[in-house]
Structures are given as structure tokens and as C-alpha cells.
Structure 1
Amino acid sequence: MQAEPPSLTRPSFFETKGCSEEGVLELVGFNASDYIEGKGLRSLDRNTKIAMAATSLALGKSGLSEEQRRKVGMVLGTMFGSMTSISDFNLESIQNGPLSVSPMLFPNTVINSPTSQVNIRFGLSGLSATLSSCNTSSLDALGYACQMIQTGMADALLAGGSEELCSLSYHALDRFKLLGTAEEDHPPPAEGAAILLLEEFDHAVRRGSPILAEIRGQANTFAPDQKTDSQNALQRSIEASLAEAGLHAQDINQFFSSVSGFPWQRRLTSALVARLLPNAKTMRKDLQRYLGESFGALGSLTLAAALGPLNDQVSNANGPEHILLGGVGYFGNASALVLTRSQTWGEA
């Protein structure tokens, strides 16, 4: 993460005609070939390339051998997949008939395409899954990966989220008056990916891997009526994740709002955290300036921030830190994840 928040820019690869003139947090100058070796990138959509780039960086830092990598799987969360690929494919079929559409482009329209392409590119043959649960997608992907490791389905999994900026999501935010700047209540549209390697504790110790944190608990719930149930749904998720972690609310040192949702949902989240987690320092505005509205990827991006330079500024030097991430999404999905960070593990 940069020392200074990135500057908002006008989108460079799609039109915003008819929308509010607001900036975005774009991966300016992103070139997949800077991160990924080999051919075959041209036919891939932007979201897949972003996920591949993050995976390449994660594998590069993992310390896994080639043989170990082949046994690793992938769990990816995404809210939209590639909306550009889906809409372009459908539009071509509607306008010019189904025979006019290239079959080479169809794989990009499937929501699990980025996950599958990552597996193929890096030779991952373990468990593979894609979760799409609105804004909580990557938090839920991390929780699902933990469950698979706990139940013995895998020793190690790559997990996280990825999203691309595109014209359709930009226009949708504008239509619902959710475009804004990093200084306002509406975070700017953003893109990005964060992929982390999760593994069973003894598995990490055996191979001498530095341990950044331990995921202690995760839970997700749903609010059928967002207006009346959002706060209750998030409270249930927080309480369930704390129970699984064996911690109490007063044990939490920091809370990271990792799901944007509507402005009124974020206000409910802030009020709930103030009441439920009395000792937690809340991190939201700072992250908003860095991460924006990155939809389903925001959870894993927030986790990366919680483990990185931003959190070093507020770390607890007196012992392990207990951190909670969570929030409520646009359609009532609520998720929470509890982790413990130790300086001793980081030095392992």
C-alpha cells in the first residue's frame, strides 16, 4: 500500500457520458504481462488479469515449491465477475444473432471464469470455488477457504477477491446516486484484487512460512429486509464469529469496515460497532481513501491492509492484536471475520 492515498482519475478505458463527473480509483497503467509470464493473455478479460496478477504476487511470496503449488487450490470472491464480457457477449448475440458470437469469448462470461483461468495458468489442481455474495464475496471466500482447511479438504488454499472497473457498474452507481469522492460518504468506484495464502497452522510451521495472522472465526448471515434487519444481521455475524474464535467483544482491538453497502448501512455499522465493541479502534475513512468501492474484493483488500503498513501505525506493542472485519452489503448480506495478529509470528 502506498504511503499516500492514490489520486482519483477519470476512467481511461470506458465512457462515462451522461453520468456525474466523478473520479475512480483505477489501476492506472495496469499491464498483466508485467506480472504474468507466457502467452494467451489477450483473450482474457480485465478482472481475470487482475486476479492473475495478484495470484502471481501471492505465489511469489509464498515460499511454495513447484510441487507444493500443484496441490494448492483457489477460492475467489467476486460480485460481478466480468460484467463487460457478459454484456458484450449478450449484446452481440442480440444485435447480430447467436451465430455472430465468437465461442472463444464465452468462457469469460461465466462467473467462475477468473478462478478457473488462474488455476490453469498456475497449474493449481486443488479445490476450486467461486463465491458471489454481493459486497461480502471475498470475506465469505476467506471464510469458506478456512472451513475447507478445517475439515481436511485442503492443506493450503489461495483465497481472496477480485473486481474490475467497468462502464456498467459505474453507470449503476450513478443511477443510484452512489458516486462520490474519498472525502464523502460515497466512496469512489475502484478495482483491484487481494489474494492470500491460507494454510493449516502446523503445515505453515513445517515449511518455515512466516505467519502474518491466524483467522480465528468467520460467520455470515442475511437480512431479508435490509431496512429493518441489517444491523441485527451484522450483529449476529459478529457474535457468531467471536464465539467461534473463543473471544469476547471487549477483546477486539480494532474493527475494519470491509463492506461498503449503502450510506445508511455504513452508519448502522458504525453505531453497532461503537456499542458492541467498546475497545475497538475503528478504521474506515482511511481505508476508504485507499480502497474505494471495490465491491466484492473489498473484504480481502481490507484484510491485506489490516496486515500491512496501514495497520502498523496503530499496532498493539503489548501483545497479540485481535482484529474484526465486517459489514453489510447492498442486498442484506452480512459477514464478519476475526483474526489475531502477533509480532512473534511475523518474525517466524
Structure 2
Amino acid sequence: MNRVVVTGMGAVSACGLGVDRLWEAAKNGISGVSPVNFLPSERQLVRQAATLSDEVVEDVWKGAKPRMQDRVTAIALAAAQEAVTQSALAADDFGADCGVVVGSGFGGAETTTRNMTDFIRDPGGRLDPMSIPKIMTNSPASWISMHFGTRGATMCISTACASATQSIGIAAQMIRQGMLSRCIAGGSEALIVPSVFRAWELLRVMTAGKCRPFSADRDGMVLGEGAGIVVLESLRSATDRGAEILAEVAGYGSTSDASDLLRPDPRGAHDSMVAAIRDAALDTSDIAYVNAHGTGTVANEVSESEALRNLFGNRLGDVLVSSTKPIHGHALGAAGAIEFIVTVKALRERLAPPTINFTSIDPKLGIDPVANIARAFDGAADACLSNSFAFGGINASLLVKRFAAPV
């Protein structure tokens, strides 16, 4: 089977435009969370989110088509362009041997909201005739395919917060099996609009204060938006082109809790990580860092902590664990790709980004994360896990390791 490597990465996030902005914020603990105000009343209790700045949105639209695309597609294209540019793919590298797997949990939320508002104001009025193509969840994947001329398999994985992680994992599997030589993969989400934000607030999982994953005083997540896109290739494809290899995607695992739509089961998260490690033919002793799902909600941390304890046992204290969601927000369908990119950067610099806003260890969790300040990897372990555990009981884990050329 083919080895799968990463040759390009692109990101749009609340931290700014580009991977460098994302990584600088992640490793230095600089949050992209800012105030939002959708309801002119006291009924809106949560007034913050990791939204894209006006400057980033303006830059993104310069290369997009507003008449044909929702913002979720525009930011996906911007991230894809950065990834493709870094990978140095040429026109001949696309075609039938290149695919696209880009997920999204919601699709065109901005267009949906605008249509809903216009329809309520004037039911007989004219709505945007391109609404359906804009709203379609597969719009980012299809537009990326059209933009670069890829004619291989194009897919949209929509599995809530696991969408992007599964997208990258499935893309890696297709390359490993020889179905494709390269693939553009990741996720995009742009749903911080009034109605969707209010719906999340009513679910009572968002914090009105600071997001504090694994901290004893944690009380919820902070919503985010953005896109993360990577270029994956077979090792032969990358070496034949003379491409710079950033890391190797060595393992992928995915499971289903099959129990509850909203409450996670630690067995599913544990088995997902085990599957990724087994797929990579590695051992838990090879893992230096885990980028946790780490939403900051009580239920998630109880489940994920138990899964990590069961996986690593007495060695858990030697493994660096952190959540970067307080920095870039929980970008839902894009979260896994944004965090995968952070994980690759962490691996390359051997530096675990911090869990900011952390105040105190919760004895019920038994997790002492990398708190507030980045920490260098210790020892010889040179592989990392990136986890996404979604509503619907869908779990996905990716294992990346430092690339070593075959002898």
C-alpha cells in the first residue's frame, strides 16, 4: 500500500488568513475570540465567538464569486489555494488522478439566513436564484474541484464536528489504496449568523465567559468558523515531483458510539484512537502529543479524559495533551482540519501549543494539559494524534508522524 504524505496546508481562521497566522496564535496562546451581538436584548447571554475579521472576509472575497458562492465556499477556496500553492502542484498534477474530499457540517448558513429573512419580510418577493447551489453542503468540495480541474473522486463528508477529520482520513485511505495519487482534503464552516448562533446558545453548551477545556471551572465551548485544507499525496507522487514533505499521515481510525445523539461514550473515543494507532502500526509509546477534541463542555471532557486514561494508562502523564479551541474556536465541520494543521506544525517544531484560560486541574478528569504556555516535546516519541468527537456519536482520529525517507 502507498504511504501518504502532506505536501501543502492552507487555513482561514479567526486568527487570520493563512497557516502562519493560525500557528503563531496557537503556539503563543493568542485567542481569536471577539465580541458578537446578534440580539438587541438581554436574551442573548453568549456574546463572543471566534469569527473571521472584516479584513479576512474582504481578502477572501477577492478571489471568490459572490453571485455563485456562499462564504463557506469562499473561505474553503482561499484555504485550498494556499495549500495548493505550498505543495507546488502544477496543472498536469490535477485531472483524473487528483480528488477532493472537503466536509462541512452546515453548508451555506449565510445564504440560508438571508433568504429566510427576505422571505419573512416579503413572501412574494424575489429570492436569490442561486440559493440552492450556494447552500449545498458539497458546494466547497465541488468548487475546489472546478477551480483546479480535479476529475478524480469528489466527496463531501458531513458528520458534524468529525467532518474534516473523516475527510482527511478517507482521502488518505483512497491514496493508500491507489485510487488516487493526490487529494485536496479538509473542511469549511461559516455558520456564525444570528439564527444558528441563537440555536447553539439554546442548546446550553456555549460559555458566556472563557472557554477552559479540561479545567475544573469549565462551563462550555466557544463557537468558531473557518476552513482548513491540506494536500495529501502518495509518497511516490511527492518524491517524483520533488515536493517538500511536511509530515506523513500514518493512521486513521473512526468509530460510532451507537448510543446517544449528544452525550459521548468514552468507549467510542478510545476505540477510534486505538484504530488510528493500529493502522499506523505504532504503539502508544510512540505518541508525543494529542490535540484533543477538548470543547470545554463538561460531558465532552469527562468522556475524552476517560478514553485517554484507558488508552495511555500510567503513561498518560508523559503525553502532552492540549486543546486549541479557545484560540480558533470550535469550527465544527472545519475544526478537525484546522486542528490537524496545528498538529502537523506542532510535530514539525516539536512544540505542543497550550490550552489557554486553564485555571486548575479537575480531579475527576485526571488530565493535566499543556496549560497556558507551549511546551516542547520530551523524549524520542515522534508521532501525534488529532481527535474529533462529534454529535451523533461519530469519532475520528488521525495519526501523523515525522516523515522518514525509505532506506
Please tell me the TM-score bracket, short chain as reference: 0.7 to 0.9
TM-score normalised by structure 1 residue count: 0.87
296-305 or 25-34, which moves further after superposition? 25-34
The answer to whether residue 59 in structure 2 is matched with residue 34 in structure 1 is yes
Q: Output aligned runs, 1:65-84, within 5 Å.
A: 65-71=90-96, 72-84=98-110
1:283 — aligned with what?
A: 321
Describe the SS at the equivalent of 1:336.
strand
Give a deviation string over 1:86-113, Cα, whole Å, max 9, x none: 3444565677558843322221121111
Q: Output aligned runs, 1:102-141, within 5 Å.
A: 102-141=128-167
1:246 — aligned with what?
A: 281
TM-score normalised by structure 2 residue count: 0.75
What is the identity, as a one-letter code, of the residue corresponding to 2:298? P
Percentage of matched positions with identical amino acids: 23
Describe the SS at the equivalent of 2:140.
helix
The answer to whether residue 205 in structure 2 is matched with residue 178 in structure 1 is yes
Give a deviation string over 1:299-339, Cα, whole Å, max 9, x none: 11111111225964245476561111224222211111112
Cα distance in structure 2, aligned partners of 1:40 and 1:228: 39
Cα distance in structure 2, aligned partners of 1:206 and 1:332: 40
CA contact (8 A) 1:75 1:115 kept: yes
1:209 — aligned with what?
A: 243
What is the identity, as a one-letter code, of the residue corresponding to 1:302? E
183-192 or 144-153, which moves further after superposition? 183-192
Describe the SS at the equivalent of 1:103.
coil
1:257 — aligned with what?
A: 292
Cα distance in structure 1, aligned partners of 2:31 and 2:165: 24
Describe the SS at the equivalent of 1:160.
strand
2:195 — aligned with what?
A: 168
1:313 — aligned with what?
A: 351
1:303 — aligned with what?
A: 340
Unaligned runs of at least 5 residues, structure 1: none
Residue number among 50, 54, 57 corresponding to 1:25 in the alignment: 50
The answer to whether residue 173 in structure 2 is matched with residue 147 in structure 1 is yes
- Which 4+ stretches in 1 moved above 6 angstroms? none
Residue number among 230, 238, 247 corresponding to 2:265 in the alignment: 230
2:402 — aligned with what?
A: 341
Cα distance in structure 2, aligned partners of 1:108 and 1:217: 34
1:51 — aligned with what?
A: 76
What is the identity, as a one-letter code, of the residue corresponding to 2:92? E
64-73 or 83-92, which moves further after superposition? 83-92
Distance 1:282-1:264 versus aligned 2 partners, 3 A rule: farther
How many residue pairs end up in the alignment? 342
Give a deviation string over 1:128-155, Cα, whole Å, max 9, x none: 1100011111110011101111222210
1:101 — aligned with what?
A: 127
2:302 — aligned with what?
A: 267
What is the identity, as a one-letter code, of the residue corresponding to 1:51? A
1:9 — aligned with what?
A: 34
Unaligned runs of at least 5 residues, structure 2: 1-22, 213-217, 353-375
Q: CA deviation at 1:202?
A: 1.4
Aligned-residue Cα RMSD (Å) equals 2.8
CA contact (8 A) 2:112 2:135 kept: yes
Q: CA deviation at 1:265?
A: 2.1
Describe the SS at the equivalent of 1:86.
helix
Distance 1:102-1:29 versus aligned 2 partners, 3 A rule: closer
Cα distance in structure 1, aligned partners of 2:123 and 2:281: 58
Describe the SS at the equivalent of 2:130.
helix
Q: CA deviation at 1:79?
A: 1.0
Q: CA deviation at 1:282?
A: 3.8
What is the identity, as a one-letter code, of the residue corresponding to 1:255? V
